């Protein structure tokens, strides 16, 4: 009998700068280096498996290879790079916009080995203007990219699939993913911060794909604002692959994601004055230009068939940074006393919390755990707020 364990996995983390200071994700914090990501995920957030999605960058590949040579890390037999206490999955975020797309689409590709990632990086460099940056456009057909990922025994996953910009259903397709992709070469769907399982399952063609909830972290503190608990034999690429296929007892045990109301694109917002609107003309300023919210876009795509497959539970998550009155110093005290954020969010008792923070803060943390906080919905690029 194979013994399985639960692991925390966040599979969408950006690199802001390389070890030599070169920019990778322009909009990400310079403090997001590979070294700091590994440390923060393990020591502060309590994450077991991280997907760093800028590993195609040649300088990042060189750093990982140096770590392997020096013994700081080692490559696992079943794929993935083991740093002390954290398994790194080698990922890449890529922008697609071929003749079948109605708008740009971001996808995530994960490769099992450093050799495979270097081959993938060199293959993309012939189809990309600047492979040293994150989320760059590839000048290749979507299905050719899918086949290349599959040939390298990788995983292909549409990223933040419903956000208004640069996503599969935001503007990439009108109705169906089959307009652009080979449905058989998609391994999972990443939901993004403004949707959850129930919302996404309104779309009939998604019923057979597993859903992922990842942070899309652009700073260290954003790591694990969304994540999943995966049931595995051990943390490795192949075990995660089995979990996505729900085979041999492996699987996603639970998804933990922001309450969609907290996401930046839940509501439809007037592009001119940022007022929430459900009319064709903004009642506040008269503009007819809107940033369509994820909730409204999913209503457009909704099918009449309900998903009969059993999904893992989806737990609405409120990261500690969203808790009112919980500043950096107080958060530091909580971490000093209770270790990782995973322990604070899920396990520390009310009595223990009250020894360190005020009753209002401890009550808010417990209410977040129970999903009973009052939230004002976000939209148009502005996060929702806990009221």
Mean pLDDT per segment of 10 residues, for the chain of length 387 residues?
A: 94 97 97 98 96 98 98 98 96 97 97 98 97 97 98 98 95 96 98 94 95 97 96 98 97 94 90 79 83 90 81 90 90 94 92 94 90 87 87
- The pLDDT tens digits of the residues spanning 336-368 come to 999 999 899 889 999 999 999 999 999 999 988
Contact in structure between 96 and 135 (CB atoms under 8 Å): no
- What is the pLDDT at residue 94? 98
Helices (H), the chain: 34-40, 58-70, 114-125, 142-151, 197-200, 237-245, 294-301, 328-338, 341-346, 350-354, 359-370
**Separation between Cα atoms, residue 237 and residue 80, nearest integer Å:** 5
pTM recorded for the entire structure? 0.94
- What is the pLDDT at residue 206? 96
- What is the pLDDT at residue 149? 98
For the chain, the domains span 5-258, 320-370
- What is the pLDDT at residue 311? 94
- What is the pLDDT at residue 309? 79
- What is the pLDDT at residue 216? 97
Task: Please tell us whether the domain made up of 5-258 is placed in CATH 3.40.220.10.
Answer: no
**Separation between Cα atoms, residue 213 and residue 189, nearest integer Å:** 9
- What is the pLDDT at residue 99? 96
The crossing angle, in degrees rounded to 10, of helices 114-125 and 58-70 is: 160
**Separation between Cα atoms, residue 23 and residue 246, nearest integer Å:** 37
Contact in structure between 371 and 358 (CB atoms under 8 Å): no
Q: What percent of the chain has pLDDT over 90?
A: 80
- What is the pLDDT at residue 306? 74
DSSP-assigned beta bridge partners for residue 110: 91, 155
- What is the pLDDT at residue 321? 86
Q: Which helix (H) or strand (E) holds 313?
A: none
- What is the pLDDT at residue 305? 74
Q: Determine the distance from the C-alpha atom of residue 209 to the mean position of all C-alpha atoms in its chain, rounded to a whole number.
A: 16
**Separation between Cα atoms, residue 141 and residue 134, nearest integer Å:** 19
Using CA atoms, how far residue 202 sits from 90, 163, 206, 264, 311, in Å, is 31, 16, 8, 20, 13
């Amino acid at each position: 009998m194979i013994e399985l364990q639960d692991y925390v996995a966040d599979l969408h983390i950006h690199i802001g700068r390389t070890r030599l200071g070169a920019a990778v994700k322009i909009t990400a914090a310079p403090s997001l280096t590979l070294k700091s990501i590994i440390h923060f995920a393990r020591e502060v957030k309590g994450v077991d498996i991280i997907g760093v999605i800028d590993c195609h960058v040649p300088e990042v590949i060189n750093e990982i290879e140096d770590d392997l040579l020096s013994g700081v890390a080692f490559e696992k037999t079943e794929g993935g790079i083991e740093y002390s206490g954290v398994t790194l999955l080698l990922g890449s975020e890529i922008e697609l916009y071929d003749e079948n797309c109605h708008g740009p689409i971001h996808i995530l590709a994960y490769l099992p080995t450093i050799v495979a990632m270097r081959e993938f990086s060199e293959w993309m460099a012939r189809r990309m203007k600047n492979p040293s940056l994150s989320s760059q456009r590839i000048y290749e057909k979507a299905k050719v990219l899918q086949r290349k990922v599959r040939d390298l025994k990788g995983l292909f996953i549409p990223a933040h699939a419903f956000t208004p910009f640069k996503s599969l259903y935001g503007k990439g397709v009108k109705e169906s993913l089959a307009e652009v992709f080979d449905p058989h070469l998609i391994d999972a769907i990443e939901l993004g911060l403004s949707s959850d399982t129930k919302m996404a399952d309104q779309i009939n063609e998604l019923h057979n794909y597993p859903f992922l909830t990842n942070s899309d972290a652009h700073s260290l503190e954003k790591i694990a604002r969304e994540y999943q608990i995966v049931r595995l034999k051990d943390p490795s690429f192949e075990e995660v692959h089995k979990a996505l296929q729900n085979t041999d007892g492996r699987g996603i045990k639970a998804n933990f994601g922001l309450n969609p109301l907290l996401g930046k694109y839940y509501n439809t917002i007037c592009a001119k004055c940022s007022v929430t609107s459900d009319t064709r003309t903004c009642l506040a300023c008269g503009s007819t230009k809107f940033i369509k919210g994820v909730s409204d876009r999913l209503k457009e795509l909704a099918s009449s068939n309900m998903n009969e497959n059993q999904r893992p539970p989806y737990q609405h998550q409120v990261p500690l940074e969203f808790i009112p009155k919980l500043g950096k110093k107080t958060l530091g005290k909580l971490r000093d006393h209770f270790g990782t954020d995973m322990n604070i969010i899920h396990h520390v008792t009310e009595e223990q919390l009250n020894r360190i923070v005020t009753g209002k803060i401890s009550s808010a943390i417990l209410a977040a755990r129970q999903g009973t906080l009052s939230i004002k919905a976000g939209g148009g690029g502005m996060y929702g707020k806990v009221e």
